Amino acid sequence: MIRNLLPVALALALSLLAARAMAVLPDEILDDPTLEARARALSAEVRCLVCQNESIDSSHAELARELRLLIRERLVAGDDEDEIKAFLVSRYGEFVLLKPPFEAATAVLWFGPFAFLLIGLAVMVIYFRRQSRDFAEQASGGLSHEENERLGRLLDPAGDERPEDEERKGPSS
């Protein structure tokens, strides 16, 4: 059933979940399937500048077609993906790439999600630590470790202070 898969699947290993959008016309498709797959993958990362939020792979605009052809020509000529992207950026700026480059300025975009995850984990761990301390406290009669020690000292027969104040538990917390 899921057979006859074109080597398009090869290119997909590069980008995990690329939506297979398509405006490529028959006369654009390269004969070499591997190169064509690379062209498709690269096109999916290039923004169509005359559209609103589409890649050149899925746009029917003339400019999109022009850029698709350009990418294929360059791949056939032996350029690699980074060189082609560099060329496009030199003409149109970083905005033309749908995956922002990895630089100081865009660090917040790339590290942000990871930072959120770390913060989330940290908050969770702190919350559970506090929980388990309160849990143990509850188990030992509602007193913390320090309070238990104080109680011990207060119960010393030599002392006159009434321990009831320390003994009273708060409402179940």
Partner 1 sequence: MKRRLFFFLPVLVFAIVVGLFLWGLQPDRDPREVPTVMIDKMPPDFDYGPVPGLSLPGFSSADIGQGEPVLVNFFASWCLPCRVEHPVLSALADAEEIPLYGVSHRDKPEDAADWLAQLGNPYDRIGRDSGRGAVDWGVYGLPETFLLDGSGRIRYHHRGPLGEKKVQEELVPLIQTLRQ
Partner 2 sequence: MIAELGHFSLIMALLAAVVQGSLPFVGAACRRNDWMLTAAPAALLQLLFVAGAFAALTYGYVTSDFSILNVAENSHSAKPLLYKFSGVWGNHEGSMLLWVLILALFGSAVALFGGNLPLSLKARVLAVQAWIAIGFLSFSLITSNPFARLVPAPLDGRDLNPLLQDPGLAFHPPMLYMGYVGFSMAFSFAVAALIEGRVDAAWARWVRPWTLAAWIFLTAGISLGSWWAYYELGWGGWWFWDPVENVSFMPWLLGTALLHSAIVVEKRDALKVWTILLAILTFSLSLIGTFIVRSGTLTSVHAFASDPERGLYILMLLAIAIGGSLMLFAWRAPSLTPGGLFAPISREGGLVLNNMLLAVACGTVFLGTLGPLLLEAFGHKVSVGLPYFNRTFVPVAAPLVFLTAFGPFLSWKRADLPGVLGRLKIAFALGVVASLAAVYLSQGGPVLAALGIGIAAWLFTASLLEWAERVKLFRATPRETWRRIMGLPRAAHGMTLAHSGLAVAVAGMIGASAWSSELVTVARPGERLDLGGYSYLYQGDEAAEGPNYRIERGRFTVERDGRQVAVLAPEKRLYPVQNMPTTEAAIHTTGLADLYVVIGDADGKGGRTVRIFYKPLVPWIWFGTAIMVLGGLVSLSDRRYRIGAPQRRSAAGREAGLADRKPAAAAAET
- Supply the minimum distance, in Å, between the C-beta of residue 119 and partner 2: 8
Q: Is 82 in the site for partner 2 (CB under 8 A)?
A: no
Q: How far apart are CA 22 and CA 98, in angstroms?
A: 16
Find the shortest distance in angstroms from Cβ 30 to partner 2: 12
Q: Three-state DSSP class for 94?
A: helix
Which of 72, 73, 41 lies closest to 57 in space, CA to CA? Answer: 41
Backbone angles phi, psi at 30, to 5 degrees: -75, 155
What is the per-residue binding string for partner 1 in 65-104, x denoting contact by CB under 8 A? -xx--x------------------xxxxx-xx--------
Q: Quickly count: other Cβ atoms within 10 Å of residue 101's Cβ.
A: 13
Listing DSSP states for 53-67 in one string gives S-BTTT--SHHHHHH
* 98 makes contact with partner 2 (CB under 8 A): yes
Look at residues 5, 101, 96, 81 and name the one whose alpha carbon lies nearest to residue 38. 81
**Partner interacting with residue 157 (select from partner 2, partner 1, none; CB below 5-8 Å by kind):** none
Q: Which residues bind partner 2 (CB under 8 A)?
A: 1-6, 8-10, 12-13, 15-26, 29, 44-45, 47, 51-55, 58, 93-101, 105-106, 108-110, 112-113, 116-117, 120-121, 123-124, 127-128, 131-132, 134-135, 138, 171-173
